[in-house]
Amino acid sequence: MLAVRWYLRYGLSYRDVEELLAERGIDVDHVTVPGAVPLGMASPTVTQISTDPDPFVPFRISQAMQVGDIVYTSGQAAIDMDGNLVGIGDFDAQAEQVFANLAAVLSAAGSDLDKVVKVTIYLTDMSNFGKIVELRERFFSLPYPADTIVEVGALALPELLIEIEAVAVAG
C-alpha cells in the first residue's frame, strides 16, 4: 500500500518505486503498482475499433477500444450504420438494433457476443426489465456476462430507449 501511495501521490515511476522499496528491504516482486508496467514487460497495445461505415464519427467517439486482449465498447444505441435512428417509440425494435450494433463492433475487433464478460445496460424505463432478461437469454450464452442495469432520465437522443456498453475478450 505504501508503494501505491508513493506512486499516485508523487507521480513516481515504477523504477523509482522499486528502488525506494528495495532501499527499505521490501521485496519488490510482491508489490503491484496500479497502471505500471513492470520492467522488461511491454505495454499492452491500444487499438481503436470501428465498423465501416462508422456512425460514431460525427460525435467524435470511438465505437470501441481494444487494450491487449480486452475490448471496451462505447454505448451502442438504436442507430443504424447510416446514422439513422431505428424504432422510435418501439423498445423491441431498438433493442434488436442495439444488439446488432454490439455484435458488429465486437466482430470488427475479432470478438463476438459469446465473449462478452460484462455489460452495462441503460434504460429510460425500468418497466422493460423483463424484456432485458429475455434479450440476455437470446443474445448471450452461459455463463452469462456480469451485468448492471441502470434507469436513466434520458440518453443521447430523446427518442432512445436503450443503450448497452460491453467489455469482451478479443480473438
Asked whether residue 33 falls in the same domain as residue 51, the answer is no
Mark whether 20 and 99 lie in a shared domain: no
Q: Are residues 82 and 149 in the same domain?
A: yes
74 with 33, same domain: the answer is no
> How big is the chain, counted in residues?
171
Q: Which of 53-57, 108-112, 147-151, 155-159 has the lowest mean pLDDT?
A: 53-57
Check whether 35 has a pLDDT greater than 70.
no
User: Do residues 18 and 93 share a domain?
Assistant: no
Query: 57 and 34 in one domain?
Result: no
Q: What share of the chain is helix, strand, coil (3-state, %, to 5)?
A: 35, 20, 45
Number of structural domains found in the chain: 2
Kindly tell me if the per-residue pLDDT of 98 is higher than 60.
Answer: yes
Average pLDDT of span 50-67: 90
The Cα angle at residue 92 between residues 86 and 94, in degrees rounded to 5: 25
Task: Identify the residue with better confidence: 58 or 76.
Answer: 76
Does one domain contain both 11 and 80? no
Residue 1 shares a structural domain with residue 84: no
Average pLDDT over residues 35-42: 58
Q: Are residues 25 and 103 in the same domain?
A: no
Spatial strand order of the sheet with 46-49 comes to 46-49, 64-67, 70-73, 162-169, 116-123, 146-151
Q: What percent of the chain has pLDDT over 90?
A: 66
DSSP bridge partners of 46: 67
Instruction: Tell me what pLDDT residue 3 has.
Output: 47
Domain region containing 103: 46-169
- Compute how many other C-beta atoms are within 10 angstroms of the C-beta atom of residue 152: 12
Q: What is the mean pLDDT of residues 115-122?
A: 98
* R_g of the chain, CA atoms, integer Å: 20
DSSP string covering 43-77 = PPPEEEE--SS-TTGGGT--SEEEETTEEEEPPB-
Same domain, 116 and 153: yes
